Structure 1
């Protein structure tokens, strides 16, 4: 058993390394394409880079659902990744930046607030599943079947988000001339990076399932921790690199835009593929509540003097550690604050 754990630990580390390399190529391609098409920083971070760096999360849901029949692992990875993105990535970017990360009113009042709306809409969608398509369950557990019709609700909201970003590009006037960039080469690099990331995600999902089998723990635990952190590597890499360059707005916008894509597209896509999926609302509601709390905390930090300083960054990291401890205690049965958490 120890040898197996070491083997799959090595696979998890290898998968993370593959994701890291793929994210490097993805970041270069996304930056080149954004410059070529003259996109403003906030659109570059919130849409182009965010969607690209969220490909691991999308791949996790698709691979977990189709190849392994583990839709719940995919959802756990999405929620865990969203919490990781909100707490760890801005904190890491804030710690490596030479100066406190500067936000602006567009970032705080448009991106952050739209993200909060996204969280609310996903919770409402889960609620509709529990109310209109209830599934018989043990006492104290609330289950609901999410079908393709309900999955279209968050997707429709994301289409509206794209419309808003499109309006920003229409009003934007670039301050510099287009650089000598070969768009075909950049698109090719983008495609290659997505393939590499897909391979890394498959290895990471397999490692999570094996950890669960070997240790007798639910795959949910490894999805919300190991897989979530591993698939967030591209987001972390992009945001930290942007912060080092002094591009704070793009760095923070990438985090929010990535999470909006994860919640409104990645989870619904899994449902569209599977046809239907059972949502454990008793588990989903507390986790979405934790995500909301983390979001409000980051929102408050960004709004205070429009900067994210080192103290705030440390506070975000400490909150994430507390979240992991909470999840670990829940999954190993030490505490029972979340009814019917997979076990």
Structure 2
């Protein structure tokens, strides 16, 4: 009954689809994407996402025969520019990253280990460049943790948080393959000795969940994004000076991945290799992640100055 009433109201409140054939009306719809419900301007990425969904719906209307062609083609509408590059202010250097990882272990006290059980999760994002959903779904089956030197991970699974109503299993986290890859595809990521040691310690302390996941909640469930995001914000206040806390520096856990890829590029690693480890194309890598580390200018400036002084 509730669904029927809602559909009845939508049918009465909606304008006829043919109204979109009028370019003025179509432009009004597009312009509405720029405004939030509170009347303020929407973010460029939000506008882009809404327009993308709307265009797909109209393509479907064309398939159904409602239009001969997409009516938006007659509208000259300037799309907002979406920033494609990572803000260099979010990137941490290795010293800052280690300080943040140490601070995570203090979150929630020692006995409950609310933060300690997440140290390895964040370390995977920084040392291996994993996306949060990849780190959450990481299992011990794909790990090779050597006694010395570098280890490896074989990634084939992600556990993104999408909400119970959108998953076939009824769980909050979907179970998918790697992003933008076939479901059966696998990505091999070498991991440095620092991460190998951290993962060994994590396994010795907490073991794994029933399905082999390295990182899990106190009840054995999938770690929610809200859980590790709260822990991360608490760690920032412990590890960073007040001025840095209010800055964009490592504001989100995802910024650890940005920092990892920037670090690899600054270390002189071939972009093709970095892209392979990160699961990106080289084009996306160079367009988004080729950023300098925080504090790297202090290294570069003397080199430039020395070169200029040779010609004085």
Q: TM-score, normalised on structure 2?
A: 0.24
Q: Which structure dedicates a bigger proportion of its chain to helix?
A: 1
Q: TM-score, normalised on structure 1?
A: 0.23
Greater relative contact order, per chain length (Cα 8 Å cut-off, separation 6+): 1
* Larger of the two Rg values belongs to structure: 2
